[in-house]
A and B are shown apart, each in its own frame.
Chain A
Amino acid sequence: EAQVTQNPRYLITVTGKKLTVTCSQNMNHEYMSWYRQDPGLGLRQIYYSMNVEVTDKGDVPEGYKVSRKEKRNFPLILESPSPNQTSLYFCASNRRGGALDSPLHFGNGTRLTVT
């Protein structure tokens, strides 16, 4: 089944403790992206990747890192999480370079709480 898989679904951590949220897609998609969703603010893009070893900042990249060493994986890294990073995070992918003639496929989300 074609899908985007995020892990974990829920994560509670403390300020300053490094964490990684994994994202994997099995559709051989070139483009992958991370979003955070907060009440009243919709979906905001954190980072995106056009292909392996190519990443770029979205609208809210501060406090996050990403890497794209393999085509299928795009982990989101929080080196020193803070409470304002408490949010619902989504990973997404599409076939070709962010092109909008190819629909985005989203994972089921990771709900992160930083205390």
Chain B
Amino acid sequence: LAKTTQPISMDSYEGQEVNITCSHNNIATNDYITWYQQFPSQGPRFIIQGYKTKVTNEVASLFIPADRKSSTLSLPRVSLSDTAVYYCLVGDIAGKGGGNKLTFGTGTQLKVEL
């Protein structure tokens, strides 16, 4: 499983766009990039997943450059309810190459203020 590095914390204001970058220099060819959101005392919740280029869903966008050594989660127009910890997870499909052992990093604590 590729090691990931994220900022420990970020601050923003309501209505702003927030971009959280995750570095994964050792990403393998079969690895997917997945982001989770966690509120206090709750289990993490899936936000978005991608392999390359750009992925968008109803809550976020995920930008992945051509070399795939990093990825950026983009949250448009954040609100107070987006205050949470965001985890980047990188690993392969079908359980190959150690992908069965799914380890999360320490995540990024996003704080949104008025």
A contact residues vs B (CB 8 Å cutoff): 4, 31, 33, 35, 40-45, 48, 50, 56, 58-59, 88, 90, 92, 96-101, 103-109, 111
Contacts and interface: CB of A to CB of B under 8 A. Distances in A.
Interface of B: 31-32, 34, 36, 41-46, 49, 87, 89-95, 99-107
Contact of B43 (A40, A99, A107): A107
A106 B91 contact: no
A41 B105 CA distance: 8
Contact of B104 (A4, A35, A40, A103): A35
Contacts of B44: 43, 90, 92, 104, 106
Given A48-B100, A106-B42, A106-B45, 18 more contacts: A4-B43, A35-B104, A42-B87, A42-B105, A43-B87, A58-B103, A92-B43, A92-B44, A97-B94, A98-B95, A98-B99, A99-B94, A99-B99, A100-B34, A100-B89, A100-B102, A106-B44, A109-B42
Given A88-B41, A108-B43, A45 B102 contact: yes
A105 B43 CA distance: 8
Nearest to A94: B102
A100 B43 contact: no
28 contacts: A40-B106, A44-B103, A48-B100, A48-B101, A48-B102, A56-B100, A58-B101, A58-B103, A90-B43, A92-B44, A97-B94, A97-B95, A98-B95, A98-B99, A98-B100, A98-B102, A99-B92, A100-B31, A100-B91, A100-B92, A100-B102, A103-B34, A103-B46, A104-B44, A105-B46, A106-B43, A106-B45, A109-B43
